[in-house]
């Protein structure tokens, strides 16, 4: 019964985030180079950030992969397979610097997408119902790299209700 509750909570949160993803998806379809570049930066940042959180505890669980698949589907309207997510995650070696990448692209990511990235990282972190300090730290590092202060990050994490 608790599993159903968690599932409903995650699906509900994903539905709320759908509006932001729809905006990013519409930008990708726009012919303007700058808008397209920004939309690609947003999508790339979202997927990379969620992946890094999933990898933070050195244990990638199927439910974390499923959460990434669902976020991708809800926000972009594109279903990717578990294998595609695993392939993306396999590219994140020990030298993958998510903080540096997010900091470098921060100006290309809208404020609403920055908040969405932090909240989606939180979804990935709690999806396995095991909160690990390394995952929490990674979510906070991602939030800081996106330009939020500690209080803003704590508020966003708390607002997910998870």
Average pLDDT of 146-162? 86
Q: Residue 125 above 50 pLDDT?
A: yes
Nearest to 118 by CA among 9, 23, 17, 41: 17
- Report the range of poorest mean pLDDT among 11-25, 97-111, 113-127: 11-25
Nearest to 98 by CA among 37, 156, 45: 45
The gap from C-alpha 157 to its chain's centroid, in whole angstroms, comes to: 12
Main-chain phi, psi angles of 77, to 5 degrees? 70, 20
Is-contact 114 148, C-beta < 8 A?
A: yes
Spell out a b/e string for 122-147, using b for 16 or more CB atoms within 10 Å of the CB, else e. Answer: bbbbbbbeeeeeebeebbbbbbbbbe
Helix (H, G, I), strand (E, B), or coil: what is residue 57? coil
Q: Residue 128 above 60 pLDDT?
A: yes
Q: What is the pLDDT of residue 4?
A: 47
pLDDT in tens, 6-60: 554 455 554 554 554 544 445 445 445 555 667 778 888 999 999 999 999 888 8
In order of their start, the domains of the chain are 2-159 (1.10.3680.10)
Spell out a b/e string for 45-70, using b for 16 or more CB atoms within 10 Å of the CB, else e. Answer: bbbbbbbbbbbbbeebeebbbbbbbb
């Amino acid at each position: 019964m608790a599993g159903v509750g968690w599932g409903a909570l995650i699906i509900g949160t994903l539905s709320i985030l759908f509006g932001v993803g729809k905006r990013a998806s519409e930008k990708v379809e726009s012919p303007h180079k700058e808008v397209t570049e920004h939309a690609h930066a947003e999508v790339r940042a979202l997927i990379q950030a969620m992946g890094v959180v999933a990898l933070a505890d050195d244990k990638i669980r199927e439910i974390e992969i499923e959460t990434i698949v669902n976020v991708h589907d809800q926000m972009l309207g594109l279903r990717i397979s578990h294998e595609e997510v695993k392939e993306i995650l396999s590219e994140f070696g020990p030298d993958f610097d998510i903080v540096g990448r997010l900091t470098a692209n921060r100006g290309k990511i809208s404020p609403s997408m920055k908040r969405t990235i932090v909240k989606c990282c939180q979804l990935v972190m709690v999806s396995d119902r095991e909160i690990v300090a390394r995952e929490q730290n990674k979510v906070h590092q991602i939030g800081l790299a996106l330009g939020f202060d500690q209080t803003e990050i704590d508020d966003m994490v708390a607002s997910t209700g998870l």
